[in-house]
Amino acid sequence: MFPDYEFKVFPVETCPLNKEDWNNSSARLNCNSTRLYYCLPNRDLTSLIEFCYPRGKRQLFMAGNCLELAGAGYLNHFSCNDTFLSGCPDTFYYGDEIFKYPKCLAINVNLRCFDSDTQCIKSRLVDLFTLCYTNSFT
């Protein structure tokens, strides 16, 4: 389903939202201290995916950013400071603790936006309305 990533990823309906569930999911996939468990949106925001990240140990991420798995499998910052109504990380955090920021793990797969990214949602809805309106006259 996600052949462009350099390692296996698995689609999930929801990501764990607390440490216990995060650790249980990590154990289920046999992740470890050098292949940390992550559950994030994919690069297109069309699915949540879980995986054991093979690129080293814990990474610290800046406040004001969520994460997505981009490219062939790199953790990518997604700025949420100016677009989320609430729930954007307000302090530095380790990527494997993103469950503390559930708004970073809530996506609208149809609109391909984070649920809290009002600018993205408005833009996609305007595009959709414009497309529907234009097509109704052709």
* Rounded mean pLDDT, 90-108: 96
* Rounded mean pLDDT, 75-79: 93
Q: Average pLDDT of the chain?
A: 91
The structural domains of the chain, with segments of one domain joined by +, span 10-135
Query: Which pair of structure tokens corresponds to residue 19?
Result: 């440490």
Lookup result for tokens 């949540």: 48
Distance CA 108, CA 60 (A): 26
**Ramachandran angles phi, psi of 129, nearest 5°:** -60, -45
- Report the pLDDT value the prediction gives residue 138, as an integer from 0 to 100: 56
pLDDT digits (tens, 9 = 90+) for 15-70: 999 999 999 999 999 999 999 999 999 999 999 999 999 987 889 999 999 999 99
Q: Cβ neighbours of residue 70 under 8 Å, at least 6 residues apart?
A: 43, 76
